[in-house]
Structure formats: C-alpha cells, structure tokens
C-alpha cells in the first residue's frame, strides 16, 4: 500500500466548520474514520471545531501507520487477531513523529525513504502524542465493536483490552499549569515596544500596517487576550465613549469568511481599555482600516491590508502568527516571543500590581478579579495557580536576599569560598 491520508476543511451552510479525513490519492473521504468523527466526536461530545480537527489528524496518523505497516485493520478484526505487543509499541513510537508538512521531491525520495525523512523531522510534544493515542484507542475500540456487532464475553474483553493497552502507552500528562511562568521580562518588553513603535527604525512593517500590527501586540499585552479572542473582535464590540472592548463567543459565524475560524475559548466579558489605547483603536478604524478595499464588507476589527483576493477580509490565524514571527525576528531579545506569552505577562503584571498595593484585595478576591478579566470560570483553579506561582517567586527572592545578607552564612559544604 502506498497511499497517504490527510484532512480537508469546509464550511456548512449553517456556518459550522467541519473537516473530513480523506485519501489524498483520490480526494475521497475515508468511510469509517469520518463515521467515527461524526457519531462519536461531533454528535456525542459537542466538541469545538478545533477538537474535531485534532481528532481527525490523530486518525490520519493511525491510517498512515496501518498503511506503512501493511495492516488491513478490518481483516484483523474479522480474524480476531488484533495487535501484537510489538505492534502496539511500534504504534506508540509512530505517534511521536512530526510529519512532513510539504510534498517530498522524487529526487529526495530516491535517496531517503519516507520513514527516514519523517523521523528526521523530530518528535511532537508529549501532550500531542497523548491526545493522538487517546483518540486512536477510542477509535479502535469503536471500530472493532462496529465490525463485531455481537461480541462474545471473551471478545468484549479483547476489545476493552485494545483501548486499555494503547492508553497505557501514553506519555505522562503534565498539568496544564506546571510550567506556567512563561512571561517575558521587562527588558524584553522594552525591546518589543520599540520594535512596534510607529516610525521606529526597528519597525519591520510598512507604514500602512504599522498601526494595525502595533494594536495587535498592545491588545494582547494590555488585555491578556488569547489569539482567537483578538481575531474575533468586531468594530461594534468597541465602545469608544466608555473605553471598553467586549469579548464575545462567535462559534460558526456565518459572516466570517475564514474557513479556519478563530474561536473564543473563554467566557464572554467586557474589558476596560485606557483612553490612550482607545484613541489608537479609533484612529486605526477611522484612518487606516477605512482605506482598505472591501473592509466595509465585514465588521471584524483587524483586516488584511495586502492587495489580493483576501484584501479587506478579517486577518487569518496564519496572518496573525506571521505578524508575531516578523516581530520576534527583529531582536535577539524577542527570540522566544509568542502571542500567548503576552497573556502570561499580563498575569505576572497583575500579580505585581496586587503585591505593590498598601491594602491589596484578599487572595480570594484577587482570584475572582483575575478569573473575570481572563475569562475563566470562577473556581476553575487557573487564577489560583498564578497566585501560587507568584508567591513561590516572592519566597525565592526573599530566601536569596536572606542568604546574601551580611548576617547570614551558608553551611560550609555549600560555600564557594575556600
């Protein structure tokens, strides 16, 4: 077998975004994986498009594995042979791969096998492998139960064992907030603000998009927004007289021409903006945005300025990431910059502000305020993790200050002095 598989994304008449697993050679949908996506992922779990897309990509990984190993899954199930232990280990290793994002030239394939090229790409993060193996385990159990309509007691145990054995091979799942301190420091912030300053010699953008790209960064930093929230803002969400911006959930928006629609994962909320930032937003809307062809055909705040078929349309996810990539390339200090790190930076600044107050709100009240501004559900624990991290940082600073003070000496076996 020499086929390959992928996904295709489309928009339904209702505005819902959906994807299908396809055979790249024929362009046709693959029956069982798509039946699983529809009946088990979309219909029963009410998952977002991003979750459905992630599940589809996990199934593509499985299909590629079966294809490369010449495993006829349906025949295996009919014969009740299932998988050997070494095959499950091979599947675990296969799900670690980063797959090639572009076609491979025939001249390259004549020197290296596709397996070698894929292995050279490196490995995905453990969380990605975890999710891949989870979906694959659930799919194989569903597929086996679908083929064997009335399994015996022994067969039912074998089917359950398939899911258990695959899930037991998942990497340990780190907590979402274990590495939560991913903010950028004040020196990096100074470098960032100089890069995005309008008219700066370091500003890498043309004059027509400098204000737009500056606002993209400023909104991420000052409001702690996620990228999807930023790209979902409409001009009508901004109250220039009250200096406020609304963050609104708009899944499956009919008027959004982007197939890969940005989504708001957090709760809706109204955020205050400073008069200065409000004025910059107003200037962009009334001066820069209004000059872009086709921009009046939609209400989204940030639009594509570059001439072409998408001019005036809301900026895409890839367009947003390109802005951040260009910014980070300007200065070595910004090599690790991402939009989401500015959300972490907002949380660091919030902690520092609370700590600097003479009479700060109680910790419980701080969590409530932080949760609202970030769009987290009250009591979800996300805000508490940031508070805990900040307390740890303060404790570490105090401990170091104590060690370095003249009145405190380290034990002899820990000293650097001779």
Give tens-digit pLDDT for 93-119.
Answer: 999 988 866 565 555 555 555 665 666
Phi, psi of 228 (to 5 degrees): -65, -35
Q: pLDDT category, 36, cuts 50, 70, 90?
A: very high
Residue-wise pLDDT tens digits, 269-311: 999 999 999 999 999 999 999 999 999 999 999 999 999 999 9
pLDDT at 59 (0 to 100): 96
Ramachandran region of residue 312, left (φ > 0), alpha (ψ -120 to 50) or beta? left
* CA 153 and chain centroid, separation: 42
Average pLDDT over residues 206-216: 96
Q: What does each C-alpha distance from 400 to 142, 184, 404, 405 come to in angstroms?
A: 56, 22, 6, 9
- In this structure, what token pair is assigned to residue 13? 């008449």
CB 81 within 8 A of CB 148: no
Instruction: State how far the Cα of 207 lies from the Cα of 380, in Å rounded to an integer.
Output: 43
pLDDT at 222 (0 to 100): 96
Average pLDDT over residues 142-150: 91
- Helix, strand, or coil (residue 14): coil
- In this structure, what token pair is assigned to residue 283? 């200037």
The CA R_g of the chain, rounded to the nearest whole Å, is 26
pLDDT at 390 (0 to 100): 72
Outline where DSSP puts E strands in 227-326: 238-239, 244-247, 269-272
Long-range CB contacts (within 8 A, 24+) of 86-93: 88/165, 88/166, 88/169, 89/169, 90/65, 91/62, 91/65, 91/133, 91/136, 91/166, 91/169, 92/133, 92/166, 92/169
Residue-wise pLDDT tens digits, 59-80: 999 999 999 999 999 999 999 9
DSSP per position, 45-91:
H---HHHHHHHHHHHHHHHHHHHHTT--HHHHHHHT----HHHHHHH
385 vs 284 pLDDT, higher one: 284
pLDDT at 180 (0 to 100): 45
Q: Please, what are the domains in the chain?
A: 5-167 (no CATH), 176-418 (1.10.443.10)
pLDDT at 85 (0 to 100): 93
pLDDT at 403 (0 to 100): 66
Instruction: State how far the Cα of 416 lies from the Cα of 395, in Å rounded to an integer.
Output: 23
pLDDT at 177 exceeding the cut of 50: no
pLDDT at 327 exceeding the cut of 80: yes
When mean pLDDT is compared across 138-147, 247-256, 270-279, the lowest value belongs to 247-256
pLDDT above 90 covers what percent of the chain?
59
Other residues' Cβ atoms within 10 Å of the Cβ of residue 232: 25
């Amino acid at each position: 077998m020499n086929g390959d598989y992928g996904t295709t994304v489309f928009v339904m008449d209702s505005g819902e975004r959906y994807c299908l697993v396809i055979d790249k050679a024929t362009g046709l949908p693959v029956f069982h994986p798509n039946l699983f996506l529809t009946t088990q992922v979309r219909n029963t779990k009410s998952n977002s498009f991003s979750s459905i897309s992630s599940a589809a990509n996990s199934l593509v990984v499985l299909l590629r594995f079966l294809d490369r190993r010449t495993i006829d899954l349906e025949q295996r199930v009919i014969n009740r042979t299932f998988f050997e232990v070494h095959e499950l280990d091979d599947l675990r290793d296969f799900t670690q791969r980063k797959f090639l994002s572009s076609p491979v030239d025939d001249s390259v394939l004549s020197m290296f096998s596709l397996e070698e090229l894929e292995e050279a790409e490196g490995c995905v993060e453990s969380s990605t492998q975890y999710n891949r193996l989870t979906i694959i385990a659930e799919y194989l159990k569903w597929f086996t139960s679908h083929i064997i309509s009335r399994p015996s007691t022994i067969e039912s145990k074998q089917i359950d064992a398939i899911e258990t054995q695959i899930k037991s091979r998942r990497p340990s799942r780190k907590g979402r907030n274990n590495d939560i301190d991913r903010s950028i420091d004040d020196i990096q912030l100074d470098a960032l603000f100089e890069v995005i300053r309008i008219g700066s010699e370091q500003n890498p953008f043309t004059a027509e998009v400098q204000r737009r790209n500056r606002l993209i960064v400023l909104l991420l930093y000052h409001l702690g927004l996620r990228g999807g929230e930023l790209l979902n803002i409409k001009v009508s969400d901004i109250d220039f007289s009250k200096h406020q911006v609304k963050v609104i959930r708009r899944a499956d928006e009919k008027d959004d021409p982007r197939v890969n629609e940005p989504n708001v994962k957090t709760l809706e909320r109204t955020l205050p903006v400073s008069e200065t930032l409000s004025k910059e937003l107003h200037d962009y809307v009334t001066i820069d945005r209004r000059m872009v062809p086709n921009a009046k055909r939609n209400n989204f705040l940030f639009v594509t300025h570059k001439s072409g078929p998408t001019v005036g349309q809301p900026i895409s996810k890839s367009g947003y990431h390109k802005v951040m990539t260009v910014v980070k390339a300007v200065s070595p200090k910004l090599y690790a910059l991402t939009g989401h790190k500015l959300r972490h930076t907002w949380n660091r600044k919030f902690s520092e502000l609370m700590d600097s107050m003479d009479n700060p709100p109680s910790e419980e009240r701080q969590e409530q305020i932080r949760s609202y501004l970030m769009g987290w559900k009250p009591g979800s624990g996300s805000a508490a993790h940031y508070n805990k991290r900040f307390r740890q940082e303060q404790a570490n600073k105090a401990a170091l200050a104590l060690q370095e003070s003249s009145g405190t000496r380290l034990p002899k076996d820990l000293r650097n002095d001779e």
